[in-house]
Amino acid sequence: MAEITNIEFIDDVAGFLRELKAHKIILLIDQHVYSFYQSEFEGFDSIIVPSGEQSKNLSLIDEIVQMLLEMDFQRDSLLIGVGGGVVTDIAGFVASVYMRGMRFGLMPTTLLGMCDAAIGGKNGVNSGNSKNMIGTIRQPEFIAVLTGFLETLPEQEFLNGMAEIIKHSIISGDDFFEFLKTNQKQILDQDKEVLRQMIQKSADIKHGIVQKDVDDQDVRHILNLGHTIAHALESLTEHLHGECVAIGMAMDSSIAKNMNLTDEDSAEKMKNLIRGYGLPVKTEFNSKALMEKISGDKKRRENHIRYVLPVAPGDCRIVNMSLDELSKHLRNLENE
């Protein structure tokens, strides 16, 4: 079974890069990150990737491949993705297919990247409006985390990361859940030491789950908590990704309660943690429109969908739910 790469903390970008053993290094850097930290990357070959989800497409991949060829990079050259999930996904994808596979490492610069997107070896790009429909599974040689990057990260992007971190705490259970409750102020104030502990714990949880299911067959589905509703809401509302994940998890806890899998106290406990980080737990929605989007979900099989329900922190269950049943629950929530 492939070993999943876990994160390592570093204190200095240029020093870390200089120490790497590679014949040739090429950095793939997010445009905003480059504008803030240009001096850190001086002296290294780099390709700047336009910021934003629209960069995750095959024509940009082809442009990058052409540049790598022109610059004479080989399979034993080392490609390093420096940016949020967009750039780490692109870097993993390019490295998996360039000359049938070249060496690569990742340097995530968003909270979501550090705790989630860079870990697990999934490297997806989009096809038209369909997210992550084309991809590979391949592990980076390293995931180097410099928490100092977070100083320039916009607050909304920080909260996007927090939604996934809260998800990890609901999946993993009481210790990390309590940590997020107790340290809420320090985390929102971005206390460096507490952030570092949070990132390590959250990354370890994702790492542990993925390690059990490298090929994304079974256990890893638990990471979809909140995401079925979130993806649908994202395309129907103005809410940002993290907000949609937060609302998705809160709605899933209500569904679990309506199915008598959990009680009001447990559902409220999970919602309170979400609220504590300033994330929403509900929004207005039309259940019919939501169901239409959900029917196009990758996780749907015929008229059923694999669905994750949060019963309590540390107890999330993967169930096979019929679309009719999900539709009934969404109609109930729409009227609440």
Question: What single DSSP character describes residue 31?
Answer: H
* Residues found near ligand NAD in the complex (CB under 6 A): 30, 32-33, 36, 51-53, 56, 83-87, 89, 109-110, 112-113, 116-117, 120, 122, 124, 131-132, 149, 152-153, 157, 160
Q: What distance in Å separates the CA atoms of residue 282 and residue 193, rounded to the nearest whole number? A: 32
Question: Which residue's CB is nearer to ligand NAD, number 105 or number 113?
Answer: 113
Q: What distance in Å separates the CA atoms of residue 47 and residue 66, rounded to the nearest whole number? A: 11
Question: Which residue's CB is nearer to ligand NAD, number 154 or number 175?
Answer: 154
Closest residue to ligand NAD: CB criterion: 85
Could you tell me which residues are beta bridge partners of residue 105?
80
Question: Which residue's CB is nearer to ligand NAD, number 225 or number 321?
Answer: 225
Q: Which two tokens stand for residue 321?
A: 């739910």
8 Å CB contact between 83 and 30: yes
- Give min distance, CB of 220 to ligand NAD, in A: 10
8 Å CB contact between 123 and 89: yes
Q: Which two tokens stand for residue 174?
A: 């009481």
Specify the pairing of strand 122-127 against strand 103-108. unpaired
Question: What's the distance, Cα to Cα, between the start and end of the chain in Å?
Answer: 46
Question: Which residue's CB is nearer to ligand NAD, number 224 or number 253?
Answer: 224
- Give min distance, CB of 147 to ligand NAD, in A: 10
* Lookup result for tokens 């609440």: 336
Residue at 36: amino acid letter: F
- Give min distance, CB of 333 to ligand NAD, in A: 25
- Give min distance, CB of 242 to ligand NAD, in A: 8
- Give min distance, CB of 164 to ligand NAD, in A: 7
Question: Which residue's CB is nearer to ligand NAD, number 117 or number 311?
Answer: 117
Q: Which two tokens stand for residue 315?
A: 């107890």
- Give min distance, CB of 24 to ligand NAD, in A: 25
Question: Which residue's CB is nearer to ligand NAD, number 109 or number 202?
Answer: 109
